[in-house]
Protein backbone atom coordinates (compact mmCIF):
# COMPACT_ATOMS: atom_id res chain seq x y z
CA UNK A 1 0.00 0.00 0.00
CA UNK A 2 1.30 3.43 -0.89
CA UNK A 3 0.73 5.58 2.18
CA UNK A 4 -0.18 9.14 1.21
CA UNK A 5 -1.44 10.31 4.58
CA UNK A 6 -1.13 9.18 8.19
CA UNK A 7 -2.60 11.33 10.93
CA UNK A 8 -2.88 11.02 14.67
CA UNK A 9 -6.58 11.25 15.55
CA UNK A 10 -6.75 10.94 19.32
CA UNK A 11 -5.81 9.11 22.50
CA UNK A 12 -8.60 7.62 24.55
CA UNK A 13 -8.97 5.91 27.91
CA UNK A 14 -12.23 4.11 27.23
CA UNK A 15 -15.07 3.44 24.83
CA UNK A 16 -16.74 6.71 25.55
CA UNK A 17 -13.88 8.61 23.92
CA UNK A 18 -13.25 6.39 20.90
CA UNK A 19 -13.67 8.06 17.53
CA UNK A 20 -17.07 7.39 16.14
CA UNK A 21 -16.30 6.11 12.67
CA UNK A 22 -16.79 3.06 10.63
CA UNK A 23 -13.47 2.80 8.81
CA UNK A 24 -11.96 -0.68 8.87
CA UNK A 25 -9.66 -0.82 11.85
CA UNK A 26 -6.41 -2.67 12.58
CA UNK A 27 -5.12 -2.91 16.16
CA UNK A 28 -1.49 -3.49 17.18
CA UNK A 29 -0.64 -5.36 20.38
CA UNK A 30 2.51 -6.66 22.03
CA UNK A 31 4.57 -6.61 25.17
CA UNK A 32 6.34 -3.37 26.12
CA UNK A 33 9.48 -2.72 24.13
CA UNK A 34 8.74 -5.41 21.55
CA UNK A 35 8.99 -2.83 18.74
CA UNK A 36 5.32 -1.98 18.24
CA UNK A 37 5.78 1.76 17.69
CA UNK A 38 8.70 1.14 15.35
CA UNK A 39 6.60 -1.32 13.35
CA UNK A 40 3.70 1.14 12.98
CA UNK A 41 6.09 3.94 11.96
CA UNK A 42 7.74 1.65 9.40
CA UNK A 43 4.39 0.72 7.87
CA UNK A 44 3.44 4.36 7.36
CA UNK A 45 6.95 5.63 6.47
CA UNK A 46 7.08 8.03 9.39
CA UNK A 47 9.71 8.47 12.06
CA UNK A 48 7.58 9.37 15.05
CA UNK A 49 3.87 8.96 14.35
CA UNK A 50 3.60 6.27 17.02
CA UNK A 51 5.76 7.24 19.98
CA UNK A 52 8.78 5.06 20.49
CA UNK A 53 10.01 5.19 24.02
CA UNK A 54 12.84 3.92 26.13
CA UNK A 55 10.53 3.77 29.15
CA UNK A 56 8.63 0.51 28.71
CA UNK A 57 5.08 0.53 29.96
CA UNK A 58 4.66 4.26 29.59
CA UNK A 59 1.90 4.33 26.97
CA UNK A 60 -1.33 3.51 28.76
CA UNK A 61 -3.79 4.95 26.28
CA UNK A 62 -5.48 3.69 23.16
CA UNK A 63 -4.10 5.78 20.28
CA UNK A 64 -6.00 6.14 17.00
CA UNK A 65 -4.49 7.03 13.62
CA UNK A 66 -6.12 7.50 10.24
CA UNK A 67 -4.27 6.13 7.22
CA UNK A 68 -5.00 7.34 3.67
CA UNK A 69 -8.38 8.46 4.99
CA UNK A 70 -9.48 4.88 4.40
CA UNK A 71 -8.48 2.82 7.44
CA UNK A 72 -7.59 3.26 11.10
CA UNK A 73 -4.62 1.98 13.02
CA UNK A 74 -5.00 1.55 16.75
CA UNK A 75 -1.93 1.40 18.97
CA UNK A 76 -2.90 -0.46 22.14
CA UNK A 77 -0.77 -0.08 25.28
CA UNK A 78 2.07 -2.58 25.69
CA UNK A 79 1.94 -5.10 28.52
CA UNK A 80 4.22 -7.25 30.61
CA UNK A 81 6.47 -4.61 32.07
CA UNK A 82 7.41 -5.99 35.49
CA UNK A 83 7.77 -2.68 37.27
CA UNK A 84 4.19 -1.59 36.57
CA UNK A 85 1.98 -1.77 39.70
CA UNK A 86 -0.84 -4.33 39.81
CA UNK A 87 -3.49 -1.59 39.65
CA UNK A 88 -2.03 -0.37 36.34
CA UNK A 89 -1.96 -3.95 35.01
CA UNK A 90 -5.65 -4.33 35.83
CA UNK A 91 -6.34 -1.00 34.14
CA UNK A 92 -4.50 -2.27 31.06
CA UNK A 93 -6.64 -5.40 30.86
CA UNK A 94 -9.87 -3.46 31.21
CA UNK A 95 -8.79 -0.93 28.60
CA UNK A 96 -7.51 -3.40 26.02
CA UNK A 97 -10.26 -5.97 26.40
CA UNK A 98 -12.84 -3.16 26.48
CA UNK A 99 -11.54 -1.89 23.16
CA UNK A 100 -11.21 -5.32 21.52
CA UNK A 101 -14.62 -6.51 22.64
CA UNK A 102 -16.57 -3.44 21.74
CA UNK A 103 -15.19 -2.44 18.38
CA UNK A 104 -17.38 -3.56 15.52
CA UNK A 105 -15.15 -2.19 12.78
CA UNK A 106 -12.10 -4.11 14.06
CA UNK A 107 -10.86 -6.33 11.20
CA UNK A 108 -7.49 -7.55 12.36
CA UNK A 109 -5.16 -7.66 15.35
CA UNK A 110 -1.45 -7.49 14.56
CA UNK A 111 0.22 -9.37 17.39
CA UNK A 112 3.88 -8.43 17.59
CA UNK A 113 6.40 -10.87 19.02
CA UNK A 114 10.18 -10.71 19.27
CA UNK A 115 11.76 -13.34 16.98
CA UNK A 116 14.37 -14.00 19.70
CA UNK A 117 11.94 -15.02 22.48
CA UNK A 118 9.36 -17.68 23.17
CA UNK A 119 5.96 -16.01 23.58
CA UNK A 120 5.43 -15.08 27.25
CA UNK A 121 2.57 -16.00 29.57
CA UNK A 122 1.06 -12.56 28.91
CA UNK A 123 1.26 -13.12 25.16
CA UNK A 124 -0.39 -16.53 25.53
CA UNK A 125 -3.22 -15.15 27.65
CA UNK A 126 -4.00 -12.42 25.18
CA UNK A 127 -3.85 -14.82 22.21
CA UNK A 128 -6.21 -17.21 23.95
CA UNK A 129 -8.59 -14.38 24.73
CA UNK A 130 -8.50 -13.11 21.11
CA UNK A 131 -9.13 -16.60 19.78
CA UNK A 132 -12.04 -17.20 22.14
CA UNK A 133 -13.54 -13.92 20.90
CA UNK A 134 -13.06 -14.96 17.25
CA UNK A 135 -10.84 -12.00 16.47
CA UNK A 136 -8.59 -12.43 13.44
CA UNK A 137 -4.87 -12.30 14.30
CA UNK A 138 -1.70 -12.01 12.26
CA UNK A 139 1.51 -12.86 14.12
CA UNK A 140 4.50 -10.71 13.29
CA UNK A 141 7.97 -11.74 14.42
CA UNK A 142 9.99 -8.57 14.62
CA UNK A 143 13.67 -7.62 15.01
CA UNK A 144 14.71 -10.32 12.52
CA UNK A 145 17.75 -8.17 11.65
CA UNK A 146 19.22 -9.31 14.99
CA UNK A 147 19.35 -12.90 13.75
CA UNK A 148 21.04 -14.77 10.92
CA UNK A 149 18.76 -16.34 8.32
CA UNK A 150 19.33 -19.79 9.87
CA UNK A 151 18.42 -18.54 13.34
CA UNK A 152 15.29 -16.86 11.93
CA UNK A 153 14.14 -20.17 10.42
CA UNK A 154 14.72 -22.12 13.63
CA UNK A 155 12.97 -19.54 15.77
CA UNK A 156 10.05 -19.14 13.36
CA UNK A 157 9.46 -22.85 13.47
CA UNK A 158 9.64 -22.96 17.28
CA UNK A 159 7.31 -19.99 17.76
CA UNK A 160 4.93 -21.38 15.14
CA UNK A 161 4.72 -24.64 17.09
CA UNK A 162 4.19 -22.77 20.34
CA UNK A 163 1.33 -20.77 18.79
CA UNK A 164 -0.16 -23.70 16.94
CA UNK A 165 0.14 -22.02 13.53
CA UNK A 166 2.11 -23.12 10.49
CA UNK A 167 5.43 -21.59 9.51
CA UNK A 168 3.72 -19.77 6.61
CA UNK A 169 1.23 -18.02 8.83
CA UNK A 170 3.94 -15.92 10.46
CA UNK A 171 5.31 -12.68 9.07
CA UNK A 172 8.99 -11.93 9.70
CA UNK A 173 9.66 -8.23 10.11
CA UNK A 174 12.36 -5.67 10.80
CA UNK A 175 11.79 -1.99 11.47
CA UNK A 176 15.50 -1.50 10.90
CA UNK A 177 15.71 -2.96 7.38
CA UNK A 178 11.96 -2.74 6.56
CA UNK A 179 11.97 -6.43 5.80
CA UNK A 180 8.43 -7.84 5.72
CA UNK A 181 6.74 -4.47 5.29
CA UNK A 182 5.06 -5.30 1.96
CA UNK A 183 3.97 -8.72 3.17
CA UNK A 184 2.35 -7.25 6.28
CA UNK A 185 0.60 -4.59 4.22
CA UNK A 186 -0.83 -7.32 1.99
CA UNK A 187 -2.29 -9.08 5.04
CA UNK A 188 -3.74 -5.80 6.35
CA UNK A 189 -5.25 -4.86 2.99
CA UNK A 190 -6.74 -8.31 2.62
CA UNK A 191 -8.38 -8.11 6.04
CA UNK A 192 -9.70 -4.60 5.36
CA UNK A 193 -11.06 -5.20 1.85
CA UNK A 194 -14.86 -5.03 1.67
CA UNK A 195 -15.27 -8.68 0.70
CA UNK A 196 -13.03 -10.27 3.32
P1 LIG B 1 7.35 -0.52 21.77
O2 LIG B 1 7.54 -0.24 23.24
O3 LIG B 1 6.80 -1.88 21.54
O4 LIG B 1 6.60 0.55 21.03
O5 LIG B 1 8.82 -0.60 21.15
P6 LIG B 1 9.67 0.49 20.33
O7 LIG B 1 9.17 0.59 18.92
O8 LIG B 1 9.77 1.74 21.13
O9 LIG B 1 11.09 -0.27 20.26
C10 LIG B 1 11.78 -0.68 21.42
C11 LIG B 1 13.27 -0.75 21.11
O12 LIG B 1 13.51 -1.76 20.13
C13 LIG B 1 13.83 0.55 20.53
O14 LIG B 1 15.13 0.72 21.05
C15 LIG B 1 13.86 0.28 19.03
O16 LIG B 1 14.86 1.00 18.35
C17 LIG B 1 14.16 -1.22 18.99
N18 LIG B 1 13.59 -1.86 17.77
C19 LIG B 1 12.29 -1.87 17.39
N20 LIG B 1 12.12 -2.59 16.26
C21 LIG B 1 13.34 -3.04 15.90
C22 LIG B 1 13.82 -3.85 14.81
O23 LIG B 1 13.09 -4.32 13.93
N24 LIG B 1 15.17 -4.13 14.81
C25 LIG B 1 16.01 -3.67 15.77
N26 LIG B 1 17.30 -4.01 15.68
N27 LIG B 1 15.59 -2.92 16.81
C28 LIG B 1 14.28 -2.59 16.87
| Contact present, 138 and 110 (Cβ < 8 Å) | yes
Q: How far is the CA of 75 from the centre of ligand 1 (A)?
A: 14
Q: How far is the CA of 94 from the centre of ligand 1 (A)?
A: 25
CATH 3.40.50.300 is right for the domain spanning 6-192: yes
Q: How far is the CA of 22 from the centre of ligand 1 (A)?
A: 31
pLDDT tens readout for residues 146-196: 999 999 999 999 999 999 999 889 999 999 999 999 999 999 999 999 877
Residue nearest to atom 25 of ligand 1 (CA): 143
pLDDT tens readout for residues 71-102: 999 999 888 876 777 877 788 888 888 889 88
Spans of all domains in the chain: 6-192
Amino acid sequence: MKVTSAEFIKSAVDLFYYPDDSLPEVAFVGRSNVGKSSLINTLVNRKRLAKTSNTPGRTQLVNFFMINKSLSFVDLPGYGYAKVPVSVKRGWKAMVEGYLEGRENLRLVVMILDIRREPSGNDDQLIQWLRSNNIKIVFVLTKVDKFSRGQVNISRRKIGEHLGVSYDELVSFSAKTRYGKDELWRVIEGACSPDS
